Amino acid sequence: MFQIILRVLSLLKQRKLMVFSLTLANLIFAILVLIEPIFFKEVIDILIAFEDTEINNYQSLFYTLILWVVVWIVTILVRLYVSIYSDRLSHEEFNNNVRGFFSRVMNLSMRFHMDANSWQLVKKVTKGTDGMFEVRLNIFRRMIPSIFTIFIMIPIVLYFNWKLGSFVIVIWVFSAALTIYLSIKTFKKQDSIEPIYSEMSSHYGDTFTNIPIIKSFTLGGMKKSELENLTDLRLRKQYPVLMWWGFIISLSQILRIIVSIWVISFGSYLFILWEISVGEIVMFLSFSTIFLSAIEDITWTIEGIFWRLAGIREYFEILDTRLEVQDAPNSSSLSKAQWRVTFQDMTFSYDGKRKVLQNIDIDIKIGEKVAFVGHTGSWKTTMTNLLLRFFDPQEGAVLIDGQDISKITQDSLRKNIWVVFQDNSLFNTTIENNIRLDNDTATRADIERVADKSHASDFISNLSDWLDTVVGERGVKLSWGEKQRLAIARAFLKDAPILVLDEATSALDAETERYLQASFDELMKGRTTFIIAHRLSTIKKADRIFVFDWGRIIEQGSYKDLVAKKWSFAKLVAAQVEGFIE
């Protein structure tokens, strides 16, 4: 736990001045809080002196009360400073934590994202950043002033009366040790429940993202039952923890009463011996209240940390995840090139054990159109993943104009490649923004032009808000074919020199596909183009076709030549003609 706290606080190393000022303000606040019981003592002793003597020290009483008010006002101002600026610091660092997590996740490899659960990531960033916000806020508002208060109070009580002071300190230490011991045991029990919350988050994600399947297969009852089992398990594990929490809360009140009785009892004994005044007894009672309040603040701060420990730990696990694909220290930007692409004696494995691509040696000429075909599971799309440097090959290299792409910055590489994916997800924003993406220089007329080229304007014109229509999460308001046309419009707008069509027409009907073929032909002009296709009629115009089988290239040539060979490719074509493969 303490390592987590130190790491959370280490993120404030750029805010040293603010941290120092808040710490100093808390020290001043602790001193001022401890002055109040002393004023209380003085006032009571002065009032009692009025009855015991004939001397009426009104002037002393007046100045004591005035000074008390001044200290009270300063205490409020210092406390106000701590509240405002600790809150401000926590909110500013919250922003930094969110940005840091988002940036890290965006930079993590595709391997990470293939294994990751998006709802789990949302949970981790939410619980992690919220947890660190609360930890920072409570440390500066509650824990630091409470620690200062305790350590400053000890010499003060010993100074005023070492007998009662020593007696009270022993009781305080026992009370603090008991409270902290029970709290830590409770926190550990609570920590064991956190994995259930993670399972519940995953269950929400799997359910909400698969509503069509759940409804069509009438899986609603099963999913509800699974959630009920998880929530029941959480409740069964939570009940014992709730009992401990109730005991700790009751213990706090019991200790207050016990400490007060002991202070009054022993204080009365010393008063009888003329070793202490009534004002000092009241002062010690006030100190005891302040001490127990400080222990409560420390305990509840630690409790808050334990409650949020799992979320914060998961947050840091993401930050500590190794960046599998990184820019080399001296990597250069890819700007002007002839866009000749070479896969040089390349071997790749996803898990480091099973090779999914073996000894791939391809040289694609400038502006050449090549197609990768093969049965499902022949790892054709992996070729484009390596071109985009989503992964690095274990052996060999991918070259552009003879330059190893591992020595090129990832951003400059990917800015020169555009992919029309088989499953083109859209953002929950307008059609215009989904076409534009990060192209701020594109005008409305440019968006309309590429929408016409991709024939997306055919359906856009029928929408009430046209280009301003919001498409919903992942483009749920559009059909597969409509989403594919928007993806093609993006490709026209980006105008990248290297084009990848990964089953780009798979979601289109045959008539629409023929309708768009002229647009594709124009899009591929002068570009080095990679076409991944199962529908073999779409690759007749490819300059070269590479036939993959279990990660190896078993045939290559033009469409006409490969059909004439009457081997693997010809069998695929024949099967599609007969209707077995679509």
Average pLDDT of the chain is: 79
Fold of 423-495: Rossmann fold (3.40.50)
In the numeric block, which tokens belong to residue 547? 């036939």
pLDDT at 475: 73
User: How would you classify residue 542: left for phi > 0, otherwise alpha for psi between -120 and 50, otherwise beta?
Assistant: beta
Count CB atoms within 10 A of the CB of residue 471: 21
Query: Taking the mean position of all CA atoms in its chain, how far away is CA 577?
Result: 49
In the numeric block, which tokens belong to residue 581? 């493969």
DSSP state of 421: -
pLDDT at 338: 67
Q: Cα–Cα distance between 498 and 28 in angstroms, integer?
A: 65
Closest among 475, 478, 521 to 501, alpha carbons compared = 521
In the numeric block, which tokens belong to residue 89? 């610091």
| Percent of the chain whose pLDDT exceeds 70 | 87
Query: CA–CA distance from 222 to each of 177, 209, 235, 302 (Å)?
Result: 48, 16, 20, 39
Query: CA–CA distance from 485 to each of 203, 461, 535, 568 (Å)?
Result: 33, 14, 17, 32
- Above 90 in pLDDT, residue 276? no
Q: Cα–Cα distance between 509 and 73 in angstroms, integer?
A: 77
Query: Taking the mean position of all CA atoms in its chain, how far away is CA 123?
Result: 7
CB-CB contact of 536 with 374 (8 Å): no
pLDDT tens, 330-365? 877 776 666 788 888 888 887 777 788 888 888 888
pLDDT tens, 497-538? 888 888 766 656 666 667 667 667 777 777 888 888 777 777
Query: CA–CA distance from 158 to each of 205, 280, 281, 381 (Å)?
Result: 59, 12, 13, 77
**DSSP reduced 3-state for 502:** strand
Q: How confident is the model at residue 327 (pLDDT cuts 50, 70, 90)?
A: confident
Residues shown for the chain: 582
Q: Cα–Cα distance between 487 and 292 in angstroms, integer?
A: 64
pLDDT at 249: 67
- Above 50 in pLDDT, residue 294? yes
pLDDT at 65: 84
More confident residue, 254 or 191: 254
Q: Which of 82-86, 212-216, 419-423 has the highest mean pLDDT?
A: 82-86
| Superfamily name and number for 2-319 | ABC transporter type 1, transmembrane domain (1.20.1560.10)
Residues 6 or more apart whose CB falls under 8 angstroms from that of 390 comprise 109, 110, 325
- On the question of a common fold for 2-319 and 423-495, the answer reads no
Query: CA–CA distance from 153 to each of 74, 277, 293, 422 (Å)?
Result: 19, 19, 13, 69
Closest among 67, 110, 38 to 384, alpha carbons compared = 110
- Above 70 in pLDDT, residue 577? no
Instruction: Give me the long-range contacts of 1-6 (CB less than 8 A, separation at least 24).
Output: 1/302, 1/305, 1/306, 1/309, 4/305, 4/309, 4/312, 4/313, 4/316, 5/135, 5/139, 5/305
Q: Where are the domains of the chain?
A: 2-319, 339-416+499-508+530-582, 423-495
Sheet with 417-420, edge to edge strand ranges: 417-420, 498-502, 528-532, 369-374, 544-549, 552-557
Q: How confident is the model at residue 581 (pLDDT cuts 50, 70, 90)?
A: very low
Q: How confident is the model at residue 77 (pLDDT cuts 50, 70, 90)?
A: very high
Instruction: Mention the CATH class of domain 339-416+499-508+530-582.
Output: alpha beta
Closest among 512, 343, 356, 483 to 423, alpha carbons compared = 483
Least confident of 19-28, 276-285, 311-320, 571-580: 571-580
Q: Cα–Cα distance between 16 and 9 in angstroms, integer?
A: 11
Closest among 325, 314, 497 to 410, alpha carbons compared = 325
pLDDT tens, 49-74? 765 555 556 777 778 788 888 888 99
pLDDT at 209: 66
Q: How confident is the model at residue 25 (pLDDT cuts 50, 70, 90)?
A: very high
Closest among 365, 404, 388, 409 to 527, alpha carbons compared = 365
For tokens 């979320």, the residue is 311
Taking each helix axis from N to C end, the angle separating 2-10 and 278-319, rounded to the nearest 10 degrees, works out to: 80
State which H helix or E strand residue 165 sits in.
helix 162-191
Q: Cα–Cα distance between 419 and 195 in angstroms, integer?
A: 38
Residues 6 or more apart whose CB falls under 8 angstroms from that of 333 comprise 408, 409, 412
Mean pLDDT calculated for residue range 140-148: 88
The amino acid sitting at 409 is T
Q: How confident is the model at residue 80 (pLDDT cuts 50, 70, 90)?
A: very high
**DSSP reduced 3-state for 216:** helix
- DSSP for 470-501 reads B--GGGTTS-HHHHHHHHHHHHHHH--SEEEE
Sheet with 341-349, edge to edge strand ranges: 355-364, 341-349, 395-400, 403-404
